[in-house]
């Protein structure tokens, strides 16, 4: 083997340009940051935080208002349904018949009709008897729970059941018509 170091030609070192030294000027004095920039930055951060808090409070308040209005709307819907039921009961045939009976009106068993084309009377043409076969106050043909305890317009001390309104002892003591609360749990039937 031949010596490779002797076989390769020698390279000349690359010429480097000579460095020139120069005098550095005196460093400029470091400027102090202006206080105004720092104050503006901190004030901006505080303003952003306050705006976020204010928007959060307004959003929360709006949520509570929506919840309250939703509850109020639900209550008004229930009240509206109760009033519709009351009006339906007061417009029922049973209630109207009971009020008519309280006024002294009677039901004619053989009604007469007036034909409008020629003015002829169809039927017996006699007045109804003094007493009606249907007792609308004491015995309604179809019971109606909506008006069972509603006083009659023509006789405020009577209901469609015919029983005068007399407050119960429990109602007078508590001032409420609701049943007493169940403290022993739900009532269950006795089984064997």
pTM comes to 0.44
What gap in Å lies between CA 39 and CA 111, rounded to an integer? Answer: 99
**Percent of the chain topping pLDDT 90:** 23
Q: What is the pLDDT of residues 93-148, one digit of tens each?
A: 888 888 887 787 877 777 788 889 998 888 876 666 666 666 666 665 566 777 77
Nearest in space to 147 (alpha carbons), one of 95, 103, 101 = 95
CB 123 within 8 A of CB 96: no
Name the band, by pLDDT with cuts 50, 70 and 90, for residue 182.
low
Of 94, 124, 97, which Cα lies nearest the Cα of 109? 124
**Residues making up the chain, counted from first to last:** 192
**Do 82 and 146 contact (CB within 8 A), yes or no?**
no
Mean pLDDT in residue range 39-68: 94
Structure tokens at 12: 């000349």
Partners of 158 in the beta sheet?
164
The CA distance from 167 to 165, in Å, is: 6
pLDDT tens-place string over residues 123-133: 876 666 666 66
* SS3 category, 138: coil
Phi-psi region of 188 (alpha: psi -120 to 50; beta: other; left: phi over 0): beta
Measure the CA–CA gap between 151 and 135, rounded to whole angstroms.
17
Measured in Å, how far apart are the chain's first and last C-alpha atoms?
A: 119
Cα angle, residue 50 at apex, residues 47 and 53 outer, rounded to 5°: 150
């Amino acid at each position: 083997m031949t010596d490779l170091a002797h076989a390769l030609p020698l390279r000349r070192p690359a010429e480097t340009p000579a460095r020139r030294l120069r005098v550095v000027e005196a460093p400029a004095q470091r400027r102090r940051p202006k206080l105004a920039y720092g104050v503006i930055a901190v004030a901006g951060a505080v303003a952003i935080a306050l705006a976020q808090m204010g928007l959060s409070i307004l959003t929360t308040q709006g949520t509570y208002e929506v919840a309250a209005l939703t509850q109020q709307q639900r209550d008004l819907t229930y009240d509206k349904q109760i009033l519709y039921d009351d009006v339906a009961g007061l417009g029922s045939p049973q209630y109207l018949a009971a009020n008519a009976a309280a006024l002294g009106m009677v039901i004619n068993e053989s009604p007469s009709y007036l034909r409008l084309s020629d003015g002829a009377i169809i039927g017996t043409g006699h007045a109804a008897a003094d007493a009606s076969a249907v007792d609308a106050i004491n015995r309604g043909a179809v019971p109606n729970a909506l008006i069972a305890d509603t006083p009659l317009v023509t006789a405020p001390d009577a209901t469609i059941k015919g029983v005068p309104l007399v407050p119960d002892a429990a109602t007078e003591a508590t001032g409420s018509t609701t049943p007493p609360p169940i403290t022993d749990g739900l009532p269950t039937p006795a089984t064997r």
